[in-house]
Structure 1
Amino acid sequence: MPGPIRLGDPTTGGGRVISARLGNFSTIDGKPIVVLGDLANCPRHTGIFAFVEADHSTTFNDLGIVLQGHRLACGCHALSTVGTSFDVTPTTPQAGAAGAGSAQRAANAIGAGLLANALGGTTDGEQPFSGRFELLDEATGRPVAGRRVRLSTPSGKQLDCQTDLQGLTPWLSSDVDEPLMFQLLDAGEHSTA
């Protein structure tokens, strides 16, 4: 089994895991375990992104734990700092412990990674969910650069944009945590909105 990810573990994008919503509820060797929807910063993709993959054979509060190799919304993953032998310690949750709530629903959605501000709030005028996405060719693993893309939501919002040279969408933001669907557009295809 790949090593579990904990708060502070490094990422392949040069960042670190910055949230572990279970807090001290469950730790490995004294560090909080990371679960689906927890966040890491990514200097490579210039943002903070949620883990969108997890192992659901082991769960805490119905959230799968993140193991080495599980991806962030930006495509990078965290590197486990746990040795081959470790101690998992479930403890009593503290008052005010974070619940799954809407962040879990967002993480389970297609296009998850629209991020809830890692500090737990926003300043006046900012929208609480934002991020960019790297589109990768499934066959080659290379960025899909300079391609027109349509992003749409179940509520009917639609945005046409173009990926940059690294295959990244522009920064997107919303005040609602809802799934995103991505559609690659042909050169002549335009928005119907």
Structure 2
Amino acid sequence: MFVGHYAACLALKKVEKKASLGMLFLAVQFIDILFFPLVLLGIERINIIENFTPSTHFELEYMPYTHSLLASFLLAGFIYVIYRIVPPRNRSIALVMGIAVLSHWFLDLIVHTPDLPLWNDDSTKLGFGLWNNAIATYALEAALLGGGLWLYLSATTATSSIGKYGMSVFVIILLLVNAVNIFGPPFGESKTSLAISALVMYFLLAGVAHWLDGKRS
């Protein structure tokens, strides 16, 4: 799952309006933000296989340190603790950020093939396999993102014309990007290019989200 993760950001912003939407965008992808550097270091493994499933061009071979259920809880707890330590030490924001991190695994569970381990690579691996149906995968992510947008807009008020229309336009752009992601060719021919393009995308989208969120109150 790609843009569907951002639905959790938009929904959680309604729960805690003081949370930074930009940081929430990074939190929901925190697992992948750690995953790609570990791939480049050879600690976790991904194989680029065009049309591995109708929705993806990669096989997630080994990723217990980021994508296991145990690792997801530990990483969510780590982010929670960081937000409790760093001022303003807001418990509600810390909880929302931790939930954002944890949401990644449970949303991945819906679409992944059985490649999500419970604790280590020898444990049971889960995945409901929606990636085997590209149209259903795209429709689910679009529905999640649309629902998240509705919750976000209902919880915030535009302070400018950019604030009034910007987030909706941003979501449309995300859906277009996801169409290319699901139905188009691989983003990169090598693991390095894939990792770099993914990381740049995550931080770029977070920056845009932060900027647009500043146009609403």
TM-score bucket of the superposed structures, by smaller chain: under 0.3
TM-score (norm 1): 0.26
TM-score (norm 2): 0.24
Name which structure has the greater RCO, CA cutoff 8 Å, separation 6+.
Answer: 2
Higher helix share: 2
Higher strand share: 1
